[in-house]
A and B are shown apart, each in its own frame.
Chain A
């Protein structure tokens, strides 16, 4: 087995045994990146020298007998919406094409402290707005399983990089499904933690009340390992919750007894692809075979209103967050300068892509005088109902299962002309962000075209441990996660 087919856990063990150096691991992944990037285009930036330097530092520490962090020598790719000190952080936007942050995001600090090797910054839908990574200002990332198809989004680069064996681990962000949906489309594991579990300090905000940083990996264990490193309280994020982080990997292989799995009836009705539905139903039978019981639950508001609520709340917050990019203090400044307002307006028109502009306008409208009560306030009320609905459902079940996405990855360009259809593809994932609960997507089969299908599991707030254990129960009994894309 080549190094790049190894999991992060295996890479740690190999290094500990002295069988391979961090430098050799990094070199192997850099070689794959060089070979596959022309096709996959997952990365917007790879600094080979910097990656090697970090790896060599880990090897030197090991030789000196110094204590090593929990991800020592393991390459991690990072979505280019997370600030990296001295390294461009573009958000895949023309607006921030040259932006170099003077500070590291909290999760980047954590990765450095864990002795991980930051191998590169990955592509995304501009400012994380999209479900296909087609909205990047720089490049279209390809699905490693079929390069004519999208990898999902907005964290498409991070998902594709892990699926393509360009990195064993990566970080994404999930505002409405932006980790789980690309994980599903790329046949890997993606986790959206509870809101407040991971500090957002240094994450360039799309929608602050929904954004959460989370891991991509090829196995549940690896994902748990990475979450354990980045989770925990950070005083610099007022919404970060001061609650201890369980040792996820220790309990992971203990199956949950008498697991009650909630099946939201509304999620298995319209618009669901038959092959996806069949794969998910087969996965549920596997759980039943392991002693789990299926419970019907009902999430009417989540099913019928989540997308509407999301596109008000998220765009309202985004319209405000993105106001700072006006060419004055940050961001692209137009060459065609006029008075203050004209200069700002032209800079923003040139710097933002069409989807970002669309969402800024939607959000501005929703917050405007005379519309606030009807849109934003109403959306916040329904949002609360959705959270309460999930809380009620979790009194009847331990986890909730559904497809991650109603279809497998669609062809590049298929939905770009129809934003609403694109928005609807997030139907199963969005409500978890509105409710602030954690979720995971893990591989549960393939379509007849050989495209991966994802199973989504949701749990109550801060029940990530339960999520990992139940995901691992399924993973241990199946081999979907061991399949390799045809690259």
Chain B
């Protein structure tokens, strides 16, 4: 028995209601649910009963993303989390190998030249007042992030950044593909350096920290950020292959 367009939408809403947020996993589960529900309806079951019964087959799954069995994920959400983590583990393994094997490659040397340039401007005490210079370290991050968003060619109907916290479940759906690209790009976690950089800047401005401390902290942050960007660009083919693009 073929499902109607509305029933198809009901399935997607059910999956999103269960807390699923990755497009690839939702697509695979939607196909499974449609096949299973069609078969059950063929045996005389009602749509909603068949939907509930298909969903119940996943209820026993449990996944602990944190130590001490804190905040467990249950059911479909547990499976999705495992799906995402298995992809991420592959990427992490490659990132480690890349860092070890290509530290002195040409892109990394270019990065070090960029750091040298920022270093040159930062050495002037007066330039410490210039917040824009501090954000020079963020420029490559923005550039690679923009490049990734264009390269992925996905519809941008999901909500990112802080808006994600306030968005409806439907608008929170994103792709594992883009999420992993953002992860290797550092967009997902380098932003937290802002939390360090801004107070650091003001501590220096009002002389709470010595100049050398400020200088080497900034140099460390810039180096890490830029080396991550180089890795991100190198990882694009790997992430594409992993997700079947």
Q: Do A and B come from one complex?
A: no
Which A residues are within 8 Å of any B CB, using their own CB?
Answer: none
Which B residues are within 8 Å of any A CB, using their own CB?
Answer: none
